[in-house]
Amino acid sequence: MMFIFKYYIGLSNINIMKFEKKICVPLLVLFFFLPLRAQKIISKDVVNHLLQEGDSLSDQLIFNKSLQAYKKASSFSKKINFQNGAIESDLKIARTLNNLGFYKDSFKYLDSIEKKYTDQISERPEFKYQIIEITGLNYLKYDFKREAVVEFRKLPPLVNLSFKENTARLNAKIRTNVLIASCYEFVNNDTAYHYMRKAESIIKSERLDRTLDIPKIFQRNVLSVYRNLADYQQYFSKNLDSAYYYSDKVLALGEYIKSPYMYIYYRQRAQILHSDKKHKQSLVFCRRSLKIIKEKAVKEDLIDVYKLMYENYTSLGDEKNAAFYRAKYVPLKDSLVGTRTEGIIVSSDHMNSKKKMIKSQYKNKDRNFVIVGFFVIIFFIFIIYIVINRKKQKELKENIELKKKKLLEKENETQELKLKVKEGFEEVVLLAKTNSPEFVTLFISVYPDFYQALLTVYPDINTENLKFCALLRLSFSSKDIATYNFITPRAIQLRKNRLRKKLGISSTEDIYGWLNRLDNK
């Protein structure tokens, strides 16, 4: 290869050696590090692919398989030290365990995430949002509504921090209101309704209520809002017409988007029909719901459908079918009670674990508090000393600067005044020489202090005497005044004598000097 370079470039052997060092060494470095970098990028792509696969399976309610995909993503992320991938995978595992009813295991994953990745969670609000939401959902499934609402009320401040995109942020706001409302259901129904109406107002503001073709991100939460409003109208307002209205919206949108949660919406319609004493129609929707539930293996919803079918057959007087579904309903109910009893222990353990973790964090903080506090006090004393000293120096400097500024301003004003007087003097003299009628007006504007002083000693002075005083102030001689005004020097002398008498100027004092000093008195 080097011979080819030598042939074409025409380099000496020494130049070839230099060329080899310049080119080959960087190439070796690139060949060594690029595969490692590429491997890391490919590994992250594998994790993202597994997470997407899990999400797709979760959307179809195939939770067992989605759990396997998330666990593979978690394991792979930890193997390549991809921390954000590990956190996201573990959070999805915790959420899936909640969907499967393994709340104890879900809590364990949440505790593990908070202990292992404290710094990453504090830096990424979206992780904190998910931890709080899943914790609240676990409490809610155990019917710990008070604890759940405490968690869900932490979500609104995190929404804007966690979701930068406007669509995702709006969807999170709808979701948060739905979650809080679900905690107040059957406890404080007016509060629950208030939060559902808030969620509905967001839906209406975005015009999501006017079409079935709404963005995918909103679909599940819009359905939750309408479903909860239908429940409220059925159970608490006892307004079956409104319950049918919202149920129609749920069924239309659910069937349009082929929602995997249709078994819930069919069961809700069956409950409304049961309340309306339309038991045969209610059973039709019960069977639709039951068919999907058996495919999805959703245990808790199976209990509700069996109970509703038992009640419908009892109301119809069909004792055989009523007994059949009662026999299916009771054992499942007892097993659920056992699960919830276990949940009390699990939730208590989880809360105690959190308290211990918080206590440990505070203990570590308190250990260094005294030492840090001491240095902080010393530091603040030093800062106060510096601040006071600098403040004094600043005040002294400001006083000096202020004096300099005043002197400069005064000097500038004097210069401006001199310039103005000089310019005005020349123009006034010109008007005086031409005996212009504008002379007096301009003189007053150029020498306002003199004019005011003259009015003080001679308040009733007329225009002619003012003009005469102005000419004397400008140091015109008697001969010049006589020439410019077309009168004799004798007449000017007589006017000077009259002016002396009027102003009280003695015959020994120079009238020019007296008038020049007038505006300086």
Long-range CB contacts (< 8 A, 24+ apart) of 332-337?
332/299, 332/302, 332/303, 332/306, 333/303, 333/307, 336/299, 336/300, 336/303
Residue 506 lies in a domain: yes
Confidence category of residue 250, pLDDT binned at 50, 70, 90: very high
Q: CA quadruple 199, 204, 210, 211: dihedral positive or negative?
A: negative
% of the chain beyond a pLDDT of 70:
81
Tell me the mean pLDDT in the region 341-362. 53
- pLDDT at 421 exceeding the cut of 70: no
Tokens of 518: 């007038």
> Does residue 128 contact residue 114 with C-beta atoms inside 8 Å?
no
Residue 463 lies in a domain: yes
| 3-class secondary-structure state, position 321 | helix
The whole-number pLDDT of residue 9 equals 41
**Distance from C-alpha of 125 to C-alpha of 123, rounded to nearest angstrom:** 6
Residue 197 lies in a domain: no
Residues 6+ apart with CB under 8 A from 415: none
Confidence category of residue 97, pLDDT binned at 50, 70, 90: very high
**Distance from C-alpha of 199 to C-alpha of 193, rounded to nearest angstrom:** 10
The whole-number pLDDT of residue 283 equals 93
Beta-sheet strands, E only, within 416-480: none
Residue 415 lies in a domain: yes
**Distance from C-alpha of 65 to C-alpha of 521, rounded to nearest angstrom:** 105
Confidence category of residue 350, pLDDT binned at 50, 70, 90: low
**Distance from C-alpha of 172 to C-alpha of 55, rounded to nearest angstrom:** 18
Residue 111 lies in a domain: no
Confidence category of residue 356, pLDDT binned at 50, 70, 90: low
Residue 501 lies in a domain: yes
Weakest mean pLDDT among 3-7, 154-158, 184-188, 295-299: 3-7
- pLDDT at 147 exceeding the cut of 60: yes
Confidence category of residue 357, pLDDT binned at 50, 70, 90: low
The whole-number pLDDT of residue 242 equals 92
Confidence category of residue 422, pLDDT binned at 50, 70, 90: low
Residue type, 124: R
Alpha-carbon distances, residue 326 vs 313, 321, 322 (angstroms):
10, 8, 6
Domain that holds residue 451: 398-518
- pLDDT at 10 exceeding the cut of 50: no
The pTM of the full predicted model, rounded to 2 decimals, is 0.55
% of the chain beyond a pLDDT of 90:
18
**Distance from C-alpha of 483 to C-alpha of 273, rounded to nearest angstrom:** 122
The whole-number pLDDT of residue 63 equals 84
Mean pLDDT of the chain: 81
- Most confident segment among 5-19, 95-109, 268-282, 354-368: 268-282
Residue recorded with tokens 């009893």: 341
Residue 252 lies in a domain: no
401 by Cβ neighbours in 10 Å (0-12 / 13-18 / 19+) ranks as exposed
Residue 421 lies in a domain: yes
Minimal CA–CA distance to 260: which of 99, 70, 50? 99
Q: How many structural domains is the chain composed of?
A: 1
